Chain A
Amino acid sequence: MNKLRSNQIFAVLLGSAAFPLLCRTEPFTIEGIFGAAIATAVQLLLCIPILLLYRTGFCFGECARRHRILPLCFIVYLLFRGGTSFVQLQQTSQEISLPFSEKFLAAALIALVCLYTVSLGIQTIARSSTMILGILLITLAIMCIGAIPQAEPQNLALSPNDTIWKGFFRSMTTADELPLLFLLLDFSEKKTYRSIVPVWVGKFLLGSYLSVLGMAVLGSRMAKASHPFFAIVSVSQPLSTQRADALYILVFVMLCVLRITLFAVLAAHLLRLCFPKLRYTSTLCLLSMLGIAGAASKISVSGIWEF
């Protein structure tokens, strides 16, 4: 079995968690940061039973072979989250100026690439995620360079339309790191608490960074922005006469491929555990995700193309 290092699990989970932040439609607020902090603490507490379970010598692979219902539940969850990612991709694709009018084509092309990347296995995802995280960090640094001249500290104020609890629930409902961690720990050699804390700390810092930067740069425009991340990008160009949007398209697509590949590869792995004779599991998973994305867009073929 492929073995993952703790820094690879960190990169995979943080890379996967970064994509919804880029696609986020709700405004970034200070209350949201506090809510995310509480959600992070709660999720870190929820990690303890998972780790204790693995410390007892638990092996998910063996358990899944005996009780099929558990992996089936995970498969449904992973396919649903994968489908949701396709929906987020389509919703956000209007912000990245695609050179074609059919929005579903973007999802289909991403699925095509994912079909290839899934075939390369979990170890490749783990290695790639380190590089993609590096690209993300460079992007955020460039974004910061462009945002600082536009930032106004007085914009950092409490929002009248948001509360800490709303922020908390938002963070909890969009978080999928716990189930992913539960599955990825099965591939990991080192199952210590210290090795997984950076995942949540990293995610919280990333969210807070974008929130503070977004609020400082956008101010009152934040409430009207359909996709706050891309709104920040559009006003934080590092060069005065040149736009750097290409970099953001690159990181957006990379994160999307990483996230969907991760869901698909885990779902395909579980599917093979439940039904060892089943073939083309990766293709089945990706098609199911596309199907869920299509169903989410009003369950009509024309709806898919007009999404």
Chain B
Amino acid sequence: MQQNHTEILLQQTISPQLSVNLSKIRTIAEGSSDLLVNEFVLSGLPAALLCCEGMLSTSTMTELILKPITAIRLECPTAANVFAFIRNHQLYSIDRAEASTYADLFRFLNSGFAVLVLDGADSALVFGIQGYDKRSVSEPSGEDNVMGAKDGFIEVVRVNMSLLRRRMKTPQLKLELFVKGSKSQTDLCLCYMADRVPQSLIAQIKARLDEMELESILSSGYLQPFLENRRGCLFDTVGTTQRPDVLCAKLLEGRVGLLIDGTPFALVIPKLFCESFQTMDDYCYRPAYATLVRWIKYAAFLVAVLLPALYVAIALHHPELLNRTLLLILADAEENAPISLTAEAIGVLLVYEIIREAGLRLPKAVGGAVSIVAGLIIGDAAVASGLISTPMLTVTAIAVIAGFVVPDLAQSITLLRLAFLLIAGFWGLFGISLLGAAVLFNLCAGESFGFPITAPIAPLYKKGFRDTLTRVSFRKMQSGSFTVEEYHE
């Protein structure tokens, strides 16, 4: 009941009577300790300056608003005159707006704006003087590189917008800010190059976001499902990045970026599968080396997914594929193992996942200890006691390390590795081939707003090979500006 009353009040327009306004504002914010109401007289008129504690800079507020506003003296002071004077002769803040309903007023208030309510005025003036604590721009933790820029997105959307603007000074870069989430009122920023992006893509993304009925948007993962086309795709069709330089490169290719306030990750639409193997460093290295590195990544992906499964399949069902020396080594190692090879492999992989999860969630100081316990004590003791064979541990370790080469595909790799392992235990290479076919078809079915994620391989675009199978030099890449629209089906 109280909830409904608050919702009704929020939709009401601001009253010309200050006392009524303050009463309604206090009713809406009942129980909230962070609402500060400073009542004062402005050129003879009762006024109030509202703010949310901790969301704005008090020194900026004192210097830029309180001092000049209390000094205003008008000959004929009416609410309209005072507002007109402030609008036309005073600046206070470069981010100024007006709120006409209590919903608007509270959105501004809780976003770090100072709100001026004046007796006789049916709207409130708001001044952007946000000054809340934020993390400084630092190197992104998940997308390290050697030669690229060292700055990454932070949790504040406006800072992230500035990081983009610093790199792309062209007015063709559009940064559209809007609010989503009925409760969280999260600022989202749609970024695109107006001269590169397909207009239909922008329209479709906006339509999807409009259809969304989320109460809150606390991370990029909340939005991702609404921007993905098909359920059941094993691979991401919406990309994420923490790097402004990467996002700029994507925008230049006609993609759309979505910055979300409160998260240091930007969403990139559409995402192609081959992009998971590209890093900013590739474009800093010499083309030949970058091409080699890229092929190593493709191989690492296959190793990460298939190596444990191939080991189990060959050892269990197709020993004839091994040469004599290898066969003897494997037979010797597995002879005394107390559990089946498939169970052993799945067990080792699951233990790795548990250790990884423990290392991630624990405080960093304890995380190091987990690595020592896991690597030295459990690993060594398990092999020494004969629970796990050395070749199995080696194969698993190689597969896991190979997975680190393509961190973008970590989730898919983990799931696929276990699935392939299980099927390899049942049906050997035939099972791997069957699942491989299913995964290939699943991958090829992946689409993001009409862009097949397997482009430029399937469908085939020879021009796209220059940054997929190879990485040609910028001398060649500069000719014929590429946009992702070429891949649209």
User: Contact check: which of B318, B431, B441 meets A128 at CB < 8 Å?
Assistant: B441
CB-CB under 8 A from A128, the residues of chain B are: 440-441, 444, 458
User: Contact check: which of A110, A121, A134 meets B445 at CB < 8 Å?
Assistant: A121
CB-CB under 8 A from A253, the residues of chain B are: 430, 433-434, 436-437
- Are A123 and B489 touching (Cβ within 8 A)? yes
Nearest CB on A from B396, distance (A)? 19
- Are B310 and A113 touching (Cβ within 8 A)? no
CB-CB under 8 A from A249, the residues of chain B are: 429-430, 433
A99 within 8 Å of B (CB atoms): yes
CB-CB under 8 A from A127, the residues of chain B are: 444-445, 452, 454, 458-459
Q: Which residue of B lies closest to A244 (CB)?
A: B321
A241 within 8 Å of B (CB atoms): yes
What number of B residues sit within 8 Å (CB to CB) of A?
Answer: 33
- Considering the complex, which residues of chain B in the window 451-476 have a beta carbon less than 8 Å from any beta carbon of chain A? 452, 454, 457-460
Nearest CB on B from A249, distance (A)? 5
- Known A97-B318, A109-B427, A124-B444: A254·B438 in contact at CB below 8 Å: no
B112 within 8 Å of A (CB atoms): no
> Secondary structure at chain A's binding surface: helix, strand, loop or mixed?
helix
Nearest CB on B from A202, distance (A)? 14
- Are B438 and A117 touching (Cβ within 8 A)? yes
Q: Which residue of B lies closest to A106 (CB)?
A: B430
A7 within 8 Å of B (CB atoms): yes
How many interface contacts (CB-CB < 8 Å) are there between A and B? 106
Chain A positions 14 through 29: 1 when the CB is less than 8 Å from some CB of chain B, otherwise 0: 0000000000000000
- Are B428 and A130 touching (Cβ within 8 A)? no
Chain A positions 237 through 277: 1 when the CB is less than 8 Å from some CB of chain B, otherwise 0: 00001110110011011100110010000000000000000
CB-CB under 8 A from A242, the residues of chain B are: 321-323
CB-CB under 8 A from A98, the residues of chain B are: 427-428, 430
B320 within 8 Å of A (CB atoms): yes
Q: Which residue of B lies closest to A114 (CB)?
A: B437
- Known A113-B437, A250-B433, A253-B437: A243·B320 in contact at CB below 8 Å: yes
User: Contact check: which of A106, A113, A246 meets B321 at CB < 8 Å?
Assistant: A246
- Are A131 and B437 touching (Cβ within 8 A)? no
- Are A124 and B445 touching (Cβ within 8 A)? yes
CB-CB under 8 A from B316, the residues of chain A are: 99
Q: Which residue of B lies closest to A135 (CB)?
A: B440
A8 within 8 Å of B (CB atoms): yes
CB-CB under 8 A from B321, the residues of chain A are: 242-243, 245-246
- Considering the complex, which residues of chain A in the window 1-51 have a beta carbon less than 8 Å from any beta carbon of chain B? 3, 5, 7-8
B317 within 8 Å of A (CB atoms): yes
| Contact size range, A | 35 or more
Chain B positions 306 through 320: 1 when the CB is less than 8 Å from some CB of chain A, otherwise 0: 000010001011101
- Are B429 and A131 touching (Cβ within 8 A)? no
Chain A positions 58 through 88: 1 when the CB is less than 8 Å from some CB of chain B, otherwise 0: 0000000000000000000000000000000
CB-CB under 8 A from B427, the residues of chain A are: 98-100, 109
CB-CB under 8 A from A134, the residues of chain B are: 457
- Known A99-B317, A109-B427, A253-B434: A5·B459 in contact at CB below 8 Å: yes
Q: Which residue of B lies closest to A258 (CB)?
A: B437
**CA of A202 to CA of B251 in the docked complex: distance in angstroms?**
40
- Considering the complex, which residues of chain B in the window 315-334 have a beta carbon less than 8 Å from any beta carbon of chain A? 316-318, 320-323
CB-CB under 8 A from A209, the residues of chain B are: none
Nearest CB on A from B327, distance (A)? 11
Nearest CB on A from B280, distance (A)? 27
- Are A250 and B432 touching (Cβ within 8 A)? yes
CB-CB under 8 A from A109, the residues of chain B are: 427, 430-431, 434
**CA of A245 to CA of B310 in the docked complex: distance in angstroms?**
12
- Are A116 and B430 touching (Cβ within 8 A)? no
A158 within 8 Å of B (CB atoms): no
- Known A117-B441, A127-B452, A257-B437: A250·B457 in contact at CB below 8 Å: no
Nearest CB on A from B471, distance (A)? 19
- Known A127-B444, A128-B444, A131-B444: A117·B437 in contact at CB below 8 Å: yes
- Known A120-B441, A253-B434, A254-B437: A131·B323 in contact at CB below 8 Å: no
User: Contact check: which of A130, A254, A258 meets B460 at CB < 8 Å?
Assistant: A130
Q: Which residue of A lies closest to B452 (CB)?
A: A127
CB-CB under 8 A from A125, the residues of chain B are: 441
User: Contact check: which of B323, B426, B438 meets A116 at CB < 8 Å?
Assistant: B438
**CA of A120 to CA of B446 in the docked complex: distance in angstroms?**
10
**CA of A30 to CA of B441 in the docked complex: distance in angstroms?**
37
**CA of A132 to CA of B310 in the docked complex: distance in angstroms?**
20
**CA of A121 to CA of B316 in the docked complex: distance in angstroms?**
36
CB-CB under 8 A from B317, the residues of chain A are: 97, 99
4 extra A-B contacts, CB within 8 A, seeds A246-B432, A257-B434:
A99-B426, A113-B438, A120-B442, A124-B445
B interface residues, Cβ below 8 angstroms from A: 310, 314, 316-318, 320-323, 426-434, 436-438, 440-442, 444-445, 452, 454, 457-460, 489
A interface residues, Cβ below 8 angstroms from B: 3, 5, 7-8, 96-100, 106, 109-110, 113, 116-117, 120-121, 123-132, 134, 241-243, 245-246, 249-250, 252-254, 257-258, 261
Of all A-B residue pairs in the complex, the 9 with the closest CB atoms, nearest first, are: A253-B433, A127-B444, A127-B458, A130-B458, A99-B317, A241-B323, A99-B428, A257-B437, A120-B445
